[in-house]
Structure 1
């Protein structure tokens, strides 16, 4: 849930995973893992991410408006209807 919310906020601001990673001090792979719920994040790092996104840390703890797709987009053509 937190990862999907981070992704939603990041995309809403037009930030790439790389930009969020560089500004927050995390690796891009860590950001990817957090967004897809594959990696946990230390509480202290949530403050860093919230700072980059310019939102209060509590904004990361609310459910996302739309859940993340079950499979990540890996390039190429998207299937019809998405």
Structure 2
């Protein structure tokens, strides 16, 4: 296990970059489908707009606690943020209070969904 940034292999760094871009792209896709601005997502999730921009473009790492905050604001299960195009469900995220959304976050995992 590397303890210094210089000990991390280029292949691992590339995988991390690809994963950040994948998650950021999903966040941007769900946010824009709901008509949310980067600023409104940032304010509701307790982030700066610059941080949201960096996350969406895969340039910023984000603490996993913040992923839950973002998922709550978007009204989706956190798994929706982590899924890639081939594995995600056809349902889009719904903000609480929207026509299809519920009034609470969907953070539980359905064991039979596997």
TM-score (structure 2 length as normaliser): 0.55
Report deviation, 1:64: 4.6
Q: CA RMSD in A?
A: 1.2
Q: Within 5 Å, which residues of 2 pair with 1:52-71?
A: 52-64=73-85
Q: Within 5 Å, which residues of 2 pair with 1:26-65?
A: 26-64=47-85
- After TM superposition, what 4+ stretches of structure 1 lie above 4 angstroms from structure 2? none
Highest RCO, 1 vs 2 (Cα 8 Å, sep ≥ 6): 1
TM-score (structure 1 length as normaliser): 0.76
Q: Say which one has the larger Rg.
A: 2
